[in-house]
Structure 1
Amino acid sequence: MDRPWFKHVAEGNPIEIEIPEISLPQLFRQSVGKYESHPAITFNEECYSYGQLNQAIQKVASSLAKLGIQKGDRVAVMLPNCPQYPISYYAALLCGATIVQVNPMYRASELLYVLNDSNSKVLIVLDKLLPVVESLGNQTSISTTITVSFDEESEFNSLLEDEGDKVPDISIDPRGDVAVLQYTGGTTGRSKGAMLTHYNLVANTLQSAATSAVKTRSGQERVLTISPLFHVYGMTSGMNLTFYNGGNMILIPKFEVEQVVDVIEKTKPTVFPGVPTMYISLLQYYKTKQFDLSCLLTCTSGSAPLPVHILHHFNKVSGTTVAEGYGLSEASPVTHRNPIVGLQKAGSIGIPIPNTDAKIVDIATGKVTLTIGEVGELIIKGPQIMKGYWNRPEETKQTIRDGWLFTGDLAKMDEDGYFYIVGRKKEMIIASGFNVYPIEVEDVIYTHPKVLEAAVFGVPDEYRGETIKAVIVVKEGELNEADVISFCRERLATYKVPGEVVFVEEMPKTAVGKILKRTLQEQLSN
């Protein structure tokens, strides 16, 4: 393969790296050995050293083992960013279990689907979310629910009282054993679990580290971690990468701009893996009250395209350079990034990270490699590519062919090997960095007694990246936008609720009756 991007790898960063065949807990233990007394987590002005964090992980692993957690069991974690997240994550992995990442904003039907699809045995959940869990009754496979509280004693605290003397000695096959089930829409259909092995996640951690090697100061970085750890980007770029580098993960459970600015002023973070909505909010706040961003040395942006004018403005205000990148759940997630120093191209997702190949192929067959500047489907190969989709062999075959991951994203490559996303084959919407699958929203709208037909798609939104537009044909009676939005809000996570509802007399359709969403988008673009 011709790899023109090699000549643009930042000077001092490796082009290729060696990836050890070890588990994630083994990688973490290496950091504990190097940085035992260094701060690992800062949360609400409390600090935990690597040694203290490791001790907590050992105790919870021992407790989980006593609860009967064995190799291969699925442990679902439904928490915002808090110390209990990495403790639960690494403790379950120590037992040989698989982590199921659960979005705390899920409504009952969404939670039911993920828990049952994964056949999870244990659920670790924030106490305030218990009503959603309890509403499911005995419909799930969960045998043990462990609550976490920020305000008072909880079941999780009792796990931490364990002596940690029963930590199982589990043999893990890094290439074969699944560490994480990351639910995603993939290229088609309903949400499905991307099986990320220990090797996938160790690889992506080391690959990500290699893209910043020239600027990273081992054991010294303070990482502003607002991106949720249940999201694959936060998990790798916020948590696993920080621990590998011996950094201090400054955890913030929710993005509230005044609180975030306060944390920035108090803790002076040096690294910020953010998403576009965060950069936009910080800049809007900066207009009303200027604050010092010069502490930031390395900033990355992922999960959704970062508007070019926002990138330039933030760079000017902070004095740093935001390196935009690209990834997807099926790739653990990082595959591309603009060089941390050297040639950066605004609007580009950058170049493939070490040990990663990428190319553009024709949309029809996926077999013809296109030339520079031609638009086609982006496909990727590397050690971070998932094992496959959980219990979905046919969809795995469609998505991974001859070792290449077919992303479903339309892209082009320039003469320097920089890639640009220009659209998506798949209909997935990315709203505020979260994936939204139209069928989930449509299914809910269709349950409204007055709805005859519904179609959902994404429209550009300067703040959220995309917002959701619903188009409806009314069956009977009167229905207005507020009614539909209220109906959805009761049944869907907030980021999946349509921001706009349009009513039409009839839908454009194919000869066989399929609604033509592209035609709708063209008709209703405004």
Structure 2
Amino acid sequence: MILTDYRAGHDLWQHRVAQTPDRVFLHHEGRRWTYADFDETKRKVAAGLAELGVGVGSPVLVGLSNRPEALFVHFALMQLGAIAIPLQSDLRFEELRHQINHSMAELLIADGALARTVLPELHHCPAVKQVVADVAGERHGLAVSELACLLRHDPLPGGPPEAYTEDSPALVLYTSGSSGRPKGVVLRAGSFASVGSGFAERFGITASDNFFLPLTMAHAIGALVAPAVAVTTGAAITVVDRFSPSTFWRQVAEAGGTCSILFPAHLNLLLGAEADAPAPGESPLRLVITHAWSERFAQRFGVELATVWGMTETGAMATGSEPGAARHRPAGFVGHPMSEVDVGVFDDHGTRLGTGEIGEIRLRHRHVMLGYLRDPAATEQVLVDGWVCSGDEGAVDDSGSVYFLGRTRSMIKRSGENISPDEVVDALMSHAAVVEAFAFGVPDEVRTEEVAALVVVRHPVSPAEILGTAADRIVARKLPRFMVITESALPRLGNGKLDRVAIVEGFNLDTAWDRLSSVSCSSS
């Protein structure tokens, strides 16, 4: 049974545990936890966090890898009415420092790579007053408590007070846009219940399913969608460390995973490694939710596909197609609005357009984001009269079907991740020889887009040298794959702004330096 009409995630969780305490909720590396088992451990973690001063509205940085402890912490924070702020473990410190300091959170919970990256640099994070990590000790005058200490408490009863409502802030997800540094999307407590029921109803997920999660818990799918769908339906969830095409099918088989969410890039990578895959119909995986239909994937692996479109800013609520429905639809079909979701198409003046007209897709429902953390100007641009302005171009036909036709903003979409061109440019500009730079996305059959850059330099310098400096500031997957170096100024419009169209149209991929093949070419 799908549970609906709960004001916040903790309410939904309590009712699920009461209904199906002995059903398996979590699988990880051969271990399993029933809903009741998980609840007891989660309450111990909640007690440990409460002892550290965490309560309603407390922002907490969660830099944990994909492991059970990450879910225990997230659900414990829901019980306390606190605000979880997940951090992506493979980012460089310069990227993490912005998120840590911008959040103003006083407590950091970290393990593995993120702990090794951040703990030596804590003196650059003045707001952080307490740290819980996988190794105890002291760093820069701060006592670091051991992660296991959170379990050494009696289970905490109860939940957040009545004043904690579905509109209370519960989750901050940092996501890149088309400009500037990543912004903190503040999501409501009610997002958990609404996205769980919305996805379950649209994609036919039931209590017999096992949701296989190979994606990071620092993004909306891992932090919100996957656990919410499981709890809403009474299904199980399997967490693995990361996506790997060489181990994917073995992990799915071992866990008995029946459904998953993957980006088109993941589908392409699995097709490229199909020699390691089972024959069609031999895997327990029956459903993959993704952004674009792939008949080749569906046929090769005997897996049904469903398409989805949405944003972090919409609380991951979106449009979606029923499994198999996109097979005979035109390219760009992303289904119909989910329950209680309104989708409209608007022109540049904010006027809602009619059936079949092309414009910006906007979406609204009661659990869209509260706004961007400490950024009212950006919030005002994106959240207009309750509508989230997507920056995506599309249309709605007379049956209510939604079609995604492209992006109107300059954000780069690589392997399902948003990459801000400004963030790439800032990293390139850290090299002393670089005068200015322009970054943009170019189509790629596997990754959807790859990062390209036109770089103006003061004197001759190799692309590899520039990337070597940039790699200290941004993670490798954000670095340009393609680069052209020039000593001529970038073209500009009459108003002094960069002529983006001229730059993109004049960029020759055939002669550009390619990081993967290390073939360089300069232009002057």
TM-score (norm 1): 0.89
Name the SS of the counterpart of 2:362 in structure 1.
Answer: strand
- Could you list the per-position Cα deviations for residues 380-411 of structure 1 after superposition, in whole angstroms to 9, with x for gaps in the alignment? 11123111122222322221222111111111
Q: What are the residue-to-residue correspondences of 1:342-361 with 2, within 5 Å?
A: 342=325, 344=327, 345=329, 346-361=331-346
Q: 2:8 touches 2:191 (CA, 8 Å); kept in 1?
A: no
Q: 2:249 touches 2:278 (CA, 8 Å); kept in 1?
A: no
The higher-RCO structure (CA 8 Å, 6+ apart) is 1
- Answer with 287-296 or 394-403: which moved more: 287-296
Question: Which AA in structure 1 matches 2:458?
Answer: K
**Residue 498 of structure 1: aligned partner:** 480
In 1, Cα distance between equivalents of 2:217 and 2:163: 23
Alignment equivalent of 1:45, drawn from 8, 30, 49: 30
Alignment equivalent of 1:524, drawn from 507, 513, 524: 507
Residues 287, 372 of structure 1: CA spacing in aligned structure 2 closer, same or farther, 3 A cutoff? farther
**Residue 421 of structure 2: aligned partner:** 438
**Residue 112 of structure 2: aligned partner:** 127
In 2, Cα distance between equivalents of 1:22 and 1:338: 26
Shift of residue 325 of structure 1?
Answer: 0.6
Q: 1:124 touches 1:145 (CA, 8 Å); kept in 2?
A: yes
Alignment equivalent of 1:400, drawn from 376, 383, 387: 383
Residue 239 of structure 2 is aligned to residue 286 of structure 1:
no
**Residue 312 of structure 2: aligned partner:** 329
Structure 1 segments (4+ residues) deviating >6 Å: none
Name the SS of the counterpart of 2:465 in structure 1.
Answer: helix
Q: 2:179 touches 2:420 (CA, 8 Å); kept in 1?
A: no
- Answer with 422-431 or 481-490: which moved more: 481-490
- Answer with 407-416 or 352-361: which moved more: 407-416
- Could you list the per-position Cα deviations for residues 280-308 of structure 1 after superposition, in whole angstroms to 9, with x for gaps in the alignment? 12222114654455422222014xxx3x5
Question: Which AA in structure 2 matches 1:436?
Answer: I
Question: Which AA in structure 1 matches 2:284?
Answer: C
Residue 126 of structure 2 is aligned to residue 146 of structure 1:
no
Residue 66 of structure 2 is aligned to residue 101 of structure 1:
no
Q: 2:177 touches 2:418 (CA, 8 Å); kept in 1?
A: no
Residues 222, 176 of structure 1: CA spacing in aligned structure 2 closer, same or farther, 3 A cutoff? closer
Residue 472 of structure 2 is aligned to residue 484 of structure 1:
no
In 1, Cα distance between equivalents of 2:202 and 2:165: 23
In 2, Cα distance between equivalents of 1:172 and 1:56: 25
Alignment size in residue pairs: 495
**Residue 288 of structure 2: aligned partner:** 299
- Answer with 178-187 or 457-466: which moved more: 178-187
In 2, Cα distance between equivalents of 1:264 and 1:439: 38
Question: Which AA in structure 1 matches 2:469?
Answer: F
Residue 158 of structure 2 is aligned to residue 170 of structure 1:
no
Name the SS of the counterpart of 1:455 in structure 2.
Answer: strand
Name the SS of the counterpart of 1:29 in structure 2.
Answer: helix
Question: Which AA in structure 2 matches 1:513?
Answer: G
**Residue 68 of structure 1: aligned partner:** 53
Q: What are the residue-to-residue correspondences of 1:67-466 with 2, within 5 Å?
A: 67-140=52-125, 141-148=127-134, 155-165=146-156, 170-186=161-177, 188-212=179-203, 215-218=204-207, 220-287=208-275, 290-291=278-279, 293=281, 294-302=283-291, 306=292, 308=293, 311-340=294-323, 342=325, 344=327, 345=329, 346-362=331-347, 364-367=348-351, 369-466=352-449
In 2, Cα distance between equivalents of 1:165 and 1:239: 21
Question: Which AA in structure 2 matches 1:296?
Answer: L
**Unpaired runs of at least 5, structure 2:** 136-144, 510-524
Question: Which AA in structure 2 matches 1:490?
Answer: D
Q: 1:197 touches 1:387 (CA, 8 Å); kept in 2?
A: yes
Residues 156, 289 of structure 1: CA spacing in aligned structure 2 closer, same or farther, 3 A cutoff? same
Q: 2:428 touches 2:470 (CA, 8 Å); kept in 1?
A: yes
In 2, Cα distance between equivalents of 1:39 and 1:468: 42
In 2, Cα distance between equivalents of 1:355 and 1:432: 29
Residues 469, 244 of structure 1: CA spacing in aligned structure 2 closer, same or farther, 3 A cutoff? same
Residues 186, 200 of structure 1: CA spacing in aligned structure 2 closer, same or farther, 3 A cutoff? farther
Residues 228, 196 of structure 1: CA spacing in aligned structure 2 closer, same or farther, 3 A cutoff? same
Q: 1:432 touches 1:495 (CA, 8 Å); kept in 2?
A: no
Residues 186, 245 of structure 1: CA spacing in aligned structure 2 closer, same or farther, 3 A cutoff? same
In 1, Cα distance between equivalents of 2:162 and 2:133: 29
**Unpaired runs of at least 5, structure 1:** 1-12
- Could you list the per-position Cα deviations for residues 6-58 of structure 1 after superposition, in whole angstroms to 9, with x for gaps in the alignment? xxxxxxx9xxx995252211111122122211211111111111111111110
- Could you list the per-position Cα deviations for residues 297-341 of structure 1 after superposition, in whole angstroms to 9, with x for gaps in the alignment? 222014xxx3x5xx1011112333211111111011131111235
Question: Which AA in structure 2 matches 1:258?
Answer: S
Name the SS of the counterpart of 1:233 in structure 2.
Answer: helix
- Could you list the per-position Cα deviations for residues 320-367 of structure 1 after superposition, in whole angstroms to 9, with x for gaps in the alignment? 3211111111011131111235565353121111111111111x2122
Residues 413, 287 of structure 1: CA spacing in aligned structure 2 closer, same or farther, 3 A cutoff? farther
Name the SS of the counterpart of 1:138 in structure 2.
Answer: helix
In 1, Cα distance between equivalents of 2:37 and 2:4: 28
**Residue 6 of structure 1: aligned partner:** none
Q: 1:336 touches 1:352 (CA, 8 Å); kept in 2?
A: yes
Percent of counterpart pairs with the same letter?
Answer: 24
**Residue 142 of structure 2: aligned partner:** none
Q: 2:167 touches 2:367 (CA, 8 Å); kept in 1?
A: no
Shift of residue 95 of structure 1?
Answer: 1.6
Q: 2:181 touches 2:420 (CA, 8 Å); kept in 1?
A: yes
Name the SS of the counterpart of 2:173 in structure 1.
Answer: strand
Question: Which AA in structure 2 matches 1:299?
Answer: V
